[in-house]
Amino acid sequence: MNPQPPQPGDVVIAIVAVVAGCVLGATAAHLAWRTGNWLGYLSALGCAAFVIGIAGQRTFPSAAAVRALGQALAQTSRPGPWDAGVSLPLIGLRITPVTLGGLLVAALGVSLMLLFEHVPDPGRVRVIRHRALEEDDAV
């Protein structure tokens, strides 16, 4: 049995997952830069690993492995981090170890960032006070 190429639905799901990972990673990096909380970069790193895991996944056994080893031996060979994993039944997305690791690191970064959120000192917070409307009308 030869490996099946990805179907159009699989490609659309992968594109949506990659775009979501890129947007969430950029948001995490921006928030980490704006707030100075370095744990946001951990989430951005996890999102990057998630995107790399989605983009780098391969079918198992690969066509090169089948040509080199033969079909029977290629089926019994050990899959690597890019082609091992499980398929999610409802979504139809294959989760490789790289993708799952990125997802877990991103979730860990978000939870740590929320747990150790920087609370500003009330004495140093600058409150902008607006002038009364009557002052604007004075000539």
The domain tally of the chain equals 1
Domain presence at residue 116: yes
Domain presence at residue 1: no
Q: Residue type for 136, please? A: D
- For the chain, the maximum distance between any two Cα atoms, rounded to a whole number of angstroms, is 91
Domain presence at residue 24: yes
Average pLDDT of each block of 10 consecutive residues along the chain (139 residues)?
Answer: 67 89 95 86 94 81 74 73 71 78 93 80 69 63
Domain presence at residue 126: yes
For residues 103-130, one letter each, b for 16 or more C-beta atoms within 10 angstroms of the residue's C-beta and e for the rest, the string is: bebbeebbeebeeeeeeeeeeeeeeeee
pLDDT score at 54: 86
Domain presence at residue 60: yes
Beta bridge partners of 95: 86
